[in-house]
Structure 1
Amino acid sequence: MLAFSDSTPPTEEKLKPTGGNESYPALVWRRLKRSWTGMSGLLLVVLLLLMSVFAEFVAPLDPKATDSGFAPPQVMSFHDKDGNFSLQPRVYALAETEELDPVTFQPIVGPDYNNPRLLGFFVKGASYDLFGLIPGDRHLFGTTDGQPVHFLGTDKFGRDILSRAVYGSRVSLMIALTVVFIVTVVGTTVGMVSGYFGGTFDAWLQRFVDLVLAFPQLPLYLALTSLIPVTAPTNVFLAFVIIVMSALGWAQMSREVRGKTLALARIDYVRAAMAVGATDRRIILQHIFPNVMSHVIVSVTLAIPSVVLLESFLGFLGFAVKPPLISWGLMLQDTSTYSVIGSYPWILSPVAFVLITVFAFNALGDGLRDAVDPY
């Protein structure tokens, strides 16, 4: 038998698309969610930023509070001194033992199983002013009785390493984000203007970029940061370090953006905009800038780990942050001698924060690179 098809014209509901039109950010987000590395990097980046913003609340102790000197990390346990299991986590207070350190001949500090300290969340501890305005004494975690606990041990002055690392994330990430912001703004602007106008202007501007790229950066960092007096205020020294890093970092970004702009300036819709009399400013901002943003975003996420590593290295050498500020690089100055590392290996703990930060931003950048690529 012959089958007759329905000749009824399609209604408006049948013609209506089911999914709707997605914007470019929505498409990027949908593709980013498929990458487990990108999402794990995004989660770690969010946690790092929250930790740095709410450092007073996250840190269990006052980073400037001192104790008796080097002390090993206190391990969390779910067992009492008799080995019985308990749902309440605890740590044991540190006390001097009869054994002596073979290097310093000081009594070795070990756990005192007769003095357990129960752990909890949102406990009371050292008072602080959140953002310098909101007073408080609640901390994310710590002991229920307010006694100090050192999950990563203490440094040579008896200061809690974990609390100092949490506070140090604020300075290290602030330096990285500020430097990358300045580098991105200057590099993107110079690159787009140079690639769009071309000609003699582009040739001379690129020779200046070549001059900046030709400088050996590490010796120049050390030379420039050594020019500022040691007695200068901490904020002045920090601003000078940011300016030096930014002045030497924008050239590579501008070279990458220029290459993208040279290709975009020859596309048909840009030439059509020129033909109808669009101004150079409108063409750069409305047609070229949105198309280079995907590359800029990926470059930003990949540049932040480089700045974090550079700040840690310069801080280790003593050319980045000065006390009383705290940064991961400054904390690593205590690891300058092999004897200290051999006797007190827990002072290398800030390295873990640097590694996590570098992995987080690199993973996020790798996921974004795949998500923003239209091909």
Structure 2
Amino acid sequence: MTGGDDSDRQAGDPHALGGGGGDLGRRPGHWISDEPWDAETDLQALDRKDLDASTTTLIWRRFKRNKLAVLSGLFLLIMYLMLPVAGFFAPYHPQARNTDAIYAPPQEIDIFTAGHFLVTYPTVSEIDMATFQPKFTADYDDPRPLRWLTSCGDPWSFLGLGETAFRLICPPEGSDLYLIGADRLGRDIFSRLLHGAQLSLTVGLIGVTISFGIGMVLGGFAGYFGGWLDAAVQRSIEIIRSMPELPIWLALSAAIPANWGPVAVFFMISVILGLLDWPGLARAVRSKFLSLREEDYVRAAELMGASTTRIVGSHMMPNFMSHLVASATLSIPTMILGETALSLLGLGLRPPAVSWGLMLNDALDLTAVEIYPWLLAPMIPVILVVLAFNFLGDGLRDALDPYS
């Protein structure tokens, strides 16, 4: 075929323009052919994996397109994987005190100095006679390297199975290490942030489990059976939603006995947060069940004699699971903020427990915050975790939507 014949064919042959059968549906950039149109061949010209992919695969592909949601999910995954071994990454025990380091500022870290990787400088504290505040001065003539993968300080517990003092990073010999500074009792803020994540992040999971258990059961029964049960659930939701949330949290938290231990208070706070968060989910489940119970496949299952449990669990719940996953992801930040607010106001977790809200309780003194701004450091992980959960929830909601 010559160049002229090829141009004539492209200009005059209707098949070359897709008007005939040979090239109908061809993807751009493919060589024009006079072969007869074959449905199976043309179908295989498409990407078969896009046609045969499972629902899970399609959801994962849609989720990967949202880069912000993927990064948020990785960040939260790392955070939760670190919870059991928070003591390994913390240089100090959360209750370790140093009276010489009260309100110590963050120490300067140099990457390469004197042939060592990551060195810090010992600080000397003295009272400023003008302000009567401790003043810390670093000795830059005495660089000291940090110690890695060694034992130091008080032991930490791994899931209650055993104790060890082995840590990723330890203070230099004969010196201290305060990466974010110290609080009013001379405790390392960085170590307390890591240990505080164990309670602040776990309270959200427990609270969501409780609220989802109540919301799905009550909302599901109300939407499926209707009648007096639906009316009773609806009135209960309206009563709870009409009451201001924060004062109810405060009242219930204040009723916790003062002689309870930190673990008992932690679980009680989780229960309180879960008991007050179920109405929103119950209403969403009810509305979804009201529409699903009229579907043909539900009617067919009822006519075939399927039990109510099987109809709800096997036929109706799977069609609502995408909304449940997204709602759970978006509800966890509410629990975390609730615990933080209660602990901040002194009605949540109590010492010697450590949480981000308890740490922010030290920042209620505005004068201290003005002089020692590192006391606001717990705000940073709270903001990052809440934003990460919101971005992840938005990504999951879009990925689980079959019409996205």
How far the C-alpha of 1:7 sits from its partner, in A, is 11
CA distance in 1, matches of 2:289, 2:397: 18
Gaps of 5+ in 1: none
- Of 327, 352, 368, the residue aligned with 2:355 is 327
Q: Which amino acid letter does the alignment assign opposite residue 112 of structure 1?
A: D
SS at match of 1:114: coil
How far the C-alpha of 1:21 sits from its partner, in A, is 3.2
Identity of aligned residues (%): 36
Q: Which amino acid letter does the alignment assign opposite residue 41 of structure 1?
A: S
User: How do 1:150-161 and structure 2 match up within 5 A?
Assistant: 150-161=178-189
Q: Quick check: 1:211 aligned with 2:242? A: no
2:117 corresponding residue in structure 1: 88
How far the C-alpha of 1:137 sits from its partner, in A, is 2.8
Normalising by the residue count of structure 1, what TM-score does the alignment of the two structures yield?
Answer: 0.90
How far the C-alpha of 1:146 sits from its partner, in A, is 8.1
Task: Describe the shift of the 1:197–1:149 C-alpha distance in structure 2 as closer, same or farther (beyond 3 A).
Answer: same
How many residues of Structure 1 are paired with residues of Structure 2 in the alignment? 367
Task: Describe the shift of the 1:146–1:242 C-alpha distance in structure 2 as closer, same or farther (beyond 3 A).
Answer: farther
CA distance in 2, matches of 1:261, 1:8: 45
User: Alpha-carbon deviations, 1:339-366, whole Å to 9, x = none?
Assistant: 1001111011000110111011111111
- Say if 2:180 and 2:190, in contact at 8 Å, map to a contact too: yes
How far the C-alpha of 1:47 sits from its partner, in A, is 1.4
Q: Quick check: 1:29 aligned with 2:65? A: no
1:248 corresponding residue in structure 2: 276
2:141 corresponding residue in structure 1: 114
How far the C-alpha of 1:60 sits from its partner, in A, is 1.8
CA distance in 2, matches of 1:215, 1:22: 47
SS at match of 1:54: helix
SS at match of 2:277: helix
Give 1 or 2 for the bigger CA radius of gyration: 2
Higher relative contact order (CA 8 A, sep 6+): 1
- Say if 2:88 and 2:166, in contact at 8 Å, map to a contact too: yes
User: How do 1:6-85 and structure 2 match up within 5 A?
Assistant: 18-19=48-49, 21-67=52-98, 68=100, 69-78=102-111, 80=113
- Say if 2:84 and 2:158, in contact at 8 Å, map to a contact too: no
How far the C-alpha of 1:275 sits from its partner, in A, is 2.4
Q: Which amino acid letter does the alignment assign opposite residue 183 of structure 1?
A: S
Q: CA RMSD in A?
A: 2.7
CA distance in 2, matches of 1:365, 1:75: 38
- Of 170, 177, 194, the residue aligned with 1:166 is 194
- Say if 1:152 and 1:162, in contact at 8 Å, map to a contact too: yes
- Of 343, 346, 370, the residue aligned with 1:342 is 370
- Say if 2:127 and 2:133, in contact at 8 Å, map to a contact too: no
CA distance in 2, matches of 1:341, 1:98: 19
How far the C-alpha of 1:368 sits from its partner, in A, is 0.5
SS at match of 1:322: coil
- Of 384, 387, 393, the residue aligned with 1:359 is 387
CA distance in 1, matches of 2:169, 2:66: 32
How far the C-alpha of 1:262 sits from its partner, in A, is 1.3
CA distance in 1, matches of 2:370, 2:307: 65
User: Alpha-carbon deviations, 1:85-121, whole Å to 9, x = none?
Assistant: x67221212212574562xx03301322133222364
User: How do 1:96-245 and structure 2 match up within 5 A?
Assistant: 96=125, 99-100=128-129, 102=131, 105-119=132-146, 121-126=148-153, 127-143=155-171, 145=173, 147-245=175-273
Q: Which amino acid letter does the alignment assign opposite residue 368 of structure 1?
A: L
SS at match of 2:241: helix
CA distance in 2, matches of 1:144, 1:107: 22
- Say if 1:124 and 1:146, in contact at 8 Å, map to a contact too: no
Task: Describe the shift of the 1:154–1:374 C-alpha distance in structure 2 as closer, same or farther (beyond 3 A).
Answer: same
Comparing 317-326 with 205-214, greater Cα deviation is found at: 205-214
CA distance in 2, matches of 1:15, 1:345: 63
SS at match of 2:183: coil
User: Alpha-carbon deviations, 1:213-260, whole Å to 9, x = none?
Assistant: 222221111111112222222232222222221111111111111111
Q: Which amino acid letter does the alignment assign opposite residue 23 of structure 1?
A: S
